[in-house]
Amino acid sequence: MANENTYFWLIITLAFVMTVLGGTISSRRRKLPTLRHIPGYDAMPRAVDESIESDRRVHLSPGSAAVGQTSTLTAIAATSIIYALTERQSFLNRSPLVTLTDPVTMAMTNDILRKAYMARENLTAYRSRVVSWFPQGHNSVAFGAGAAIRAKNMDTSSHIMVGEFGPELAFIGESSVRNRQGFIAASTSLEGQAIAYAQSEAPLIGEEIFVGSAYLEPQSATFAGGVIALDVLRWAIIIAIIIAALVNA
Amino acid sequence: MQADRKTRKRRRLRLGNAVNATLVLALGFITMVGLLSPADSMTGLTADVFLQLVGVLAAVAVLVGVLNLLLVHLGRLPRVRKGGFYSLVVILSAVAVAVVHVLDRSKSWGGDLEGQKVGPRLFGVIQVTLESALAGMVFFFLVYATYRLMRHRVTWANLVFLAAVLIVLIGWLPLKGLDGAQDVRDWLMEVPVSAGARGLLIGIGLGTVTVGVRVLLGRERAYREP
pLDDT band for position B164 (cuts 50, 70, 90): confident
Most confident option among A76-90, A140-154, B82-96, B165-179: A76-90
Cα-based angle B147, B150, B154 (whole degrees, multiple of 5): 170
- For residue A237, which amino acid is it? I
What does the pLDDT look like over A110-168, one tens digit per residue?
999 999 999 888 889 998 888 888 876 665 777 888 889 889 988 999 999 999 998 88
Q: How far is B130 from chain A (nearest CA, A)?
A: 8
> By the 8 A CB rule, do B216 and B29 touch?
yes
- Cα dist from B147 to A191, A198, A199, B152, B189, whole Å: 18, 9, 10, 9, 22
Contact with chain B for residue A112, Cβ under 8 A: yes
Given this model, what pLDDT does residue A83 score? 93
Closest residue to B61, CB basis, from A107, A140, A167 = A107
Interface test with B, best of A60, A73, A128, A208 (most B CBs within 10 A): A73
Given this model, what pLDDT does residue B3 score? 56
pLDDT by 10-residue block (mean), chain A, 249 residues:
69 78 74 83 94 94 89 92 93 91 89 91 87 74 85 92 90 90 92 88 88 84 82 88 90
Weakest mean pLDDT among A99-113, B133-147, B159-173: B133-147
Given this model, what pLDDT does residue A21 score? 76
How many CB atoms lie under 10 A from the CB of residue B59?
12
Given this model, what pLDDT does residue B226 score? 67
Query: What whole-number distance in Å separates Cα of residue B217 and Cα of residue B215?
Result: 5
Query: What whole-number distance in Å separates Cα of residue B104 and Cα of residue A57?
Result: 43
Query: What whole-number distance in Å separates Cα of residue B53 and Cα of residue B66?
Result: 20
Q: How far is A53 from chain B (nearest CA, A)?
A: 25
Given this model, what pLDDT does residue B223 score? 65
Listing from the earlier edge strand, what are the strands of the sheet with A182-187?
A131-133, A97-100, A57-63, A156-164, A182-187
Contact with chain B for residue A138, Cβ under 8 A: no
Given this model, what pLDDT does residue B80 score? 58
Determine phi and psi for A58, rounding to 5 degrees. -115, 140
- Spatial neighbors of B170 by CB under 8 A, at least 6 apart, are B178, B181, B185
Query: What whole-number distance in Å separates Cα of residue B86 and Cα of residue B92?
Result: 10
- For residue B217, which amino acid is it? L
Query: What whole-number distance in Å separates Cα of residue A17 and Cα of residue A14?
Result: 5
pTM summary value: 0.85
Given this model, what pLDDT does residue B12 score? 55
Contact with chain B for residue A238, Cβ under 8 A: no
CATH fold for domain A38-217+224-234:
Rossmann fold (3.40.50)
Query: What whole-number distance in Å separates Cα of residue A90 and Cα of residue A76?
Result: 20
Closest residue to A230, CB basis, from B141, B206, B222 = B206
> By the 8 A CB rule, do A173 and A59 touch?
no
Given this model, what pLDDT does residue B41 score? 85
Closest CA to A146 of A97, A213, A214: A97
- Spatial neighbors of B64 by CB under 8 A, at least 6 apart, are A103, A107
What does the pLDDT look like over B54-73, one tens digit per residue?
888 888 888 888 887 888 78
Query: What whole-number distance in Å separates Cα of residue A7 and Cα of residue B152?
Result: 44
Closest residue to A141, CB basis, from B65, B134, B146 = B134
**Cα nearest neighbour of A80 on chain B:** B221
Query: What whole-number distance in Å separates Cα of residue B123 and Cα of residue B26?
Result: 42
- The fraction of chain B above a pLDDT of 90, given in percent, is 5
How many CB atoms lie under 10 A from the CB of residue B161?
17
Q: Which of A 163-192 lie inside 8 A of B, CB atoms?
A: 167, 170-171, 173-174, 177, 188, 190
Considering only CB atoms, which chain B residues are within 8 Å of A229? 210, 213
Closest residue to B57, CB basis, from A104, A112, A174 = A104
Q: Where are the beta strands (DSSP E) in A15-166?
A: 57-63, 97-100, 131-133, 156-164
User: Is residue B102 within a helix (H) or strand (E), and if so which, with residue range?
Assistant: helix B84-105
Contact with chain A for residue B191, Cβ under 8 A: no
- Three-class DSSP labels, A189-238: CHHHHHHHHHHCCCCCCHHHHHHHHHHHCCCCHHHHHHHHHHHHHHHHHH
Interface test with B, best of A10, A207, A223, A234 (most B CBs within 10 A): A207
- Cα dist from B218 to A130, A131, A212, B223, whole Å: 28, 25, 17, 8
**H-only helix segments in B106-178:** 118-123, 129-152, 156-171
Q: What is the CA radius of gyration of chain A?
A: 19
Query: What whole-number distance in Å separates Cα of residue B116 and Cα of residue B114?
Result: 5
Considering only CB atoms, which chain B residues are within 8 Å of A119? 226
pLDDT at position B83 over 80: no
Given this model, what pLDDT does residue B115 score? 75
Contact with chain A for residue B214, Cβ under 8 A: yes
Higher-pLDDT residue of A119, B19: A119
**Cβ separation A207–B57 shorter than 8 A:** no
- Write the ipTM: 0.86
> By the 8 A CB rule, do A222 and B214 touch?
yes
**Cβ separation B226–A116 shorter than 8 A:** yes
- For residue B57, which amino acid is it? L
Phi-psi label, residue A133: left if phi above 0, alpha if psi -120 to 50, beta otherwise: beta
Q: Where are the beta strands (DSSP E) in chain A?
A: 57-63, 97-100, 131-133, 156-164, 182-187
How many CB atoms lie under 10 A from the CB of residue B6?
10
Given this model, what pLDDT does residue A139 score? 59
Considering only CB atoms, which chain B residues are within 8 Å of A206? 199-200, 203-204, 207
* B37: DSSP letter: S
pLDDT at position B9 over 60: no
